[in-house]
Structure 1
Amino acid sequence: MANISTLDAGASPLHYYGFELRRYREAAGLTQRELGQITNYTGSLIGQIETARKVPTLEFSQRMDAALGTGGALTRLVELVLRSQLPAWFQQVAELQARATEIYSFEMGMVPGLLQTEAYARAVLGAIDQTNLDDRTAVRLARQGIFEKERPPTFWVVLSEAALHQQIGGREVMAEQLAYLLTLEGNPQINVQVLPFSGGAHAGMTGSFDVYRFASDPAIVYTEGYGSAHPTANPEAVRDCSLRYDHLQAAALSIQKSAELIRGVMEDRYGEQVA
């Protein structure tokens, strides 16, 4: 456990953030409790973040910057902090997602992390391991910040119909997750297509994968194992997965028909009526 008097600012981005937050707070002549009253957080939470025992969120950072007049310093720093909290094997993937101009994702069994609601992400992450679940969920959701950039990537998702039926987190969680997917129907940056059961055998039978494309760098294919990431820029692998993705998109329902299917699943399985 870090101690406020001995916190090493160079130990990690999280420690550096805590060090800077304390420095800005003390420069403003505020106690943790007083700063909490201004920003609507508890003094205890501020203390935990200052001592690197708790991971800050983007909203927390924005409120601290506003209250302490930092010029946005903590908001700029929090992206690095959150990325550093990802599993080591996934940090490179998060960086690829942040740099990509186009992301093509095929998912077999669940909604991809970039489109997960908080409750759904929490259920996925907590299926086996409940430790630090609040922080791990916040870190996963923070990755969705790539869609708020000045030039966000175009995101294409082909989602197996199985992902709509796999009840993750219970009925309410699934209904909320599917409802969120429907809100994306008119978003030109995020396009969701469903690969229906009726399509039979398809080009993605061997598993989920992503293709990342960049403004000037070679495309990268990403696949994932248990606790391991497998990105590759091998031209043959990129060509193969790009062709597979073309076939998957051709076999999938249109964006409009996909939304209709999602509405149907919500009504049939979760009793949710959606206009």
Structure 2
Amino acid sequence: MASAPSLRRRRLVGALKRLRLDAGMTLAEAGEAAGFSEAKVSRIETFRFQVSGDDTYSLAKALGASEETANALVKLARSAKQRGWWHDAASEGSGLGTFADFLELESEAREIFEFQETLIPGRLQTAGYAAAVIRADLPNATDDEVDRRVKLRLDRQSRSSAPLWTVVFEAALEMPVGGPEVMCEQLDHLSEVAKRPGIQVQVLPKRSRGHAAIGTSFTLFELTDGATFAHIDTLTGGLLIEDSAQVEIYRKARLGLQAAAADFDGSDTLVKRARDNHRSTP
């Protein structure tokens, strides 16, 4: 049985098909414009043909793509067969599953927005906090497995350079994950990284009367090829949202969360207040 197409390939094919539909072209018309047969375009769109970078450029331009978009899709086509750094982690037993898609998006994003209701975002976690979260998620995990997963999380932090804007619900600051010492270290770290270029941290106060994503933590990825994906956290690794109409719902939720959250100075005050409360815990 053939393996499922990679996320990169799904993104490429999806982008080419959207260009064709937006141009109002049939498969035959798209093929004629690009100098391909109708069957070739059909095989591309049904994942029966691995489209090359040159063919991608020809087809994208024939479908009316700008030079910038066409070049971005060529880059995507040429990387579709490449293995990401996280595949080595998977082969070592980290059990990535569908989280590999998340890591691919994170590695290729030009901007990331993340909302977390109950946890500090993974890219901003300390090793101690990450280990405590992993042990809570996987109570039967061995020490070696926990160590591998913590290493993966720290590798993500060193490799992720896309600007990150995060909104964290205040309750996530108060949950004693790992105990007071771990939380104090984590919140000190959160306050510090919020001062770094490219990282924006807002806290949504508990006094907020509901919010635009109540009950749902999610991440929005704005990619270099112009695509946008949403990712929802689940117990089994997460759900990827690709449909543009559904992604737009998360875009609107982002705006609502940013508007409802405290400003940056007020957010830092809430982080430090939570830290002091943990510090005073026996």
Aligned to 1:82: 89
Aligned to 1:134: 147
In structure 2, C-alpha distance between the alignment counterparts of 1:226 and 1:78, rounded to whole Å: 24
Aligned to 2:108: 99
Q: Return the letter of the residue paired with 1:82.
A: A
In structure 1, C-alpha distance between the alignment counterparts of 2:193 and 2:153, rounded to whole Å: 19
Q: Return the letter of the residue paired with 1:135.
A: R
Would you say how many aligned residue pairs link Structure 1 and Structure 2? 193
CA contact (8 A) 2:112 2:220 kept: yes
Aligned to 2:207: 198
- 1:110 has 2:123 as partner: no
**Deviation by residue 1:117-160 (Cα, 9 ceiling, x = unmatched):** 0000000111223322111211122111234xxxx211000000
Aligned to 1:52: none
Cα deviation, residue 80, structure 1 = 4.5
CA contact (8 A) 1:203 1:247 kept: yes
CA contact (8 A) 1:158 1:248 kept: yes
* Residue 144 (structure 1) aligned to one of 141, 144, 157: 157
- 1:260 has 2:261 as partner: no
In structure 2, C-alpha distance between the alignment counterparts of 1:90 and 1:270, rounded to whole Å: 34
In structure 2, C-alpha distance between the alignment counterparts of 1:77 and 1:220, rounded to whole Å: 18
CA contact (8 A) 2:117 2:215 kept: no
In structure 2, C-alpha distance between the alignment counterparts of 1:219 and 1:90, rounded to whole Å: 17
CA contact (8 A) 1:108 1:159 kept: yes
Cα deviation, residue 215, structure 1 = 1.6
Aligned to 2:170: 161
Cα deviation, residue 185, structure 1 = 2.9
Residue 167 of structure 1: SS of its match in structure 2? coil
In structure 2, C-alpha distance between the alignment counterparts of 1:153 and 1:196, rounded to whole Å: 26
Cα deviation, residue 96, structure 1 = 0.6
TM-score by length of 2: 0.64
Q: Return the letter of the residue paired with 1:104.
A: F
In structure 2, C-alpha distance between the alignment counterparts of 1:215 and 1:229, rounded to whole Å: 22
**Deviation by residue 1:171-213 (Cα, 9 ceiling, x = unmatched):** 1000000000011232121111000011121111131011000
CA contact (8 A) 2:124 2:193 kept: no
Aligned to 2:4: none
Q: Tell me which stretches of 4 or more aligned residues in structure 1 moved more than 2 Å.
A: 76-80, 82-86
Q: Return the letter of the residue paired with 1:141.
A: L
CA contact (8 A) 2:131 2:150 kept: yes
TM-score by length of 1: 0.66
CA contact (8 A) 1:83 1:94 kept: no
Identity level (%): 31
Cα deviation, residue 217, structure 1 = 3.5
Aligned to 2:237: 228
In structure 1, C-alpha distance between the alignment counterparts of 2:243 and 2:85, rounded to whole Å: 33
Q: Return the letter of the residue paired with 1:140.
A: R
In structure 2, C-alpha distance between the alignment counterparts of 1:209 and 1:169, rounded to whole Å: 23
Aligned to 1:208: 217
Q: Return the letter of the residue paired with 2:120.
A: V
Unpaired segments ≥5 residues, structure 1 = 1-75
Residue 106 of structure 1: SS of its match in structure 2? strand
Unpaired segments ≥5 residues, structure 2 = 1-82
In structure 2, C-alpha distance between the alignment counterparts of 1:100 and 1:157, rounded to whole Å: 15
Q: Return the letter of the residue paired with 2:141.
A: Q
CA contact (8 A) 1:86 1:139 kept: no
In structure 1, C-alpha distance between the alignment counterparts of 2:271 and 2:233, rounded to whole Å: 26
**Cα distance change, pair 264–231 in 1 and its aligned pair in 2 (3 A):** same
* Residue 238 (structure 1) aligned to one of 229, 247, 252: 247
In structure 2, C-alpha distance between the alignment counterparts of 1:154 and 1:223, rounded to whole Å: 19
Q: Return the letter of the residue paired with 1:143.
A: R
Residue 188 of structure 1: SS of its match in structure 2? coil
